[in-house]
Amino acid sequence: MITPDLESGVKVWHLVKNHEHGDQKEGDRGSKMVSEIYLTRLLATKGTLQKFVDDLFETLFSTVHRDSALPLAIKYMFDFLDEQADKHGIHDQDVRHTWKSNCLPLRFWVNVIKNPQFVFDIHKSSITDACLSVVAQTFMDSCSTSEHRLGKDSPSNKLLYAKDIPNYKSWVERYYADINHLPAISDQDMNAYLAEQARLHSTEFNMLSALNEIYSYVSKYSEEITMALEQDEQAKKQRLAYKVEQLISAMSLES
């Protein structure tokens, strides 16, 4: 922001509020008063929405409080991450926690919270977008393992849910612990589950398009994938490395 100055002609301000600068003026106190009024309204609105936010977070971070059973894929994926951590000697629980958060809550649910139009046939206004971003940020902070240090200069959206985040963090930790204690999912059960999901949604997706996307990934990283398959015992039994090479050769001839 550039404002006139009698001596130099202009005055350059950095990206801070006026009242945070050294030479505070009378008008700045007025703007601070207005911001305090808006903060009161923010708190009132937050109180109105509190139950809905709590219900959302409790549903997403619970193996019990939900309309349906926890999908087998979540348990299978989390167990896979724990196996990989054991395999590579990673015993830091924060690392495992971060892996799981990056795979599901931060990759999937945050996107849905910020973009409800992906799921529902609705119009998202700019005001709604800003409000949902606050909820999404709170959701992300709840999945973080780092401690959040807040001060008087912290943005209002961070301060709004500052007291709630420790409680939400405990829900996330409980959610991961509950999943860890669930019975393990065998490869056969997982394959049966995927086959059933494929049958239920067979008319909703373009299978050839999905296969083409997978092939573009496989062809790009063919050497790494082949090498990994040659080192895996299960893959060796099914000769997967050889089959991948055959697939790439056939597709190359077709193209």
C-beta of residue 219 within 8 angstroms of C-beta of residue 225 = no
Q: CA-to-CA distance for 140 and 147, rounded, in angstroms?
A: 13
Contact 13, 23 (CB under 8 A): no
Which two tokens mark 29? 């106190």
Mean pLDDT of 43-72: 88
pLDDT digits (tens, 9 = 90+) for 31-56: 555 566 777 888 888 889 999 999 99
Is the entire prediction scored with pTM above 0.85?
no
**pLDDT recorded at residue 36:** 67
DSSP 148: P
pLDDT tens track for 185-223: 999 999 999 999 989 988 888 888 888 899 999 999 999
Answer yes or no: is pLDDT of 30 > 70.
Answer: no
Q: What percent of the chain has pLDDT over 90?
A: 54
Most confident of 20-24, 68-72, 130-134, 151-155: 130-134
Read off the pLDDT of each residue in 125-147 and give the average, rounded to a whole number. 91
Range picked from 25-29, 78-82, 150-154 for highest mean pLDDT: 78-82
What sign for the dihedral angle of Cα 76, 81, 86, 88? Answer: positive
Domains of the chain: 36-185 (1.10.506.10), 207-253 (no CATH)
| pLDDT digits 0-9 by tens, 96-134 | 999 999 999 999 999 999 999 999 988 888 888 888 999
Which pLDDT band holds residue 11 (cuts at 50, 70, 90)? low
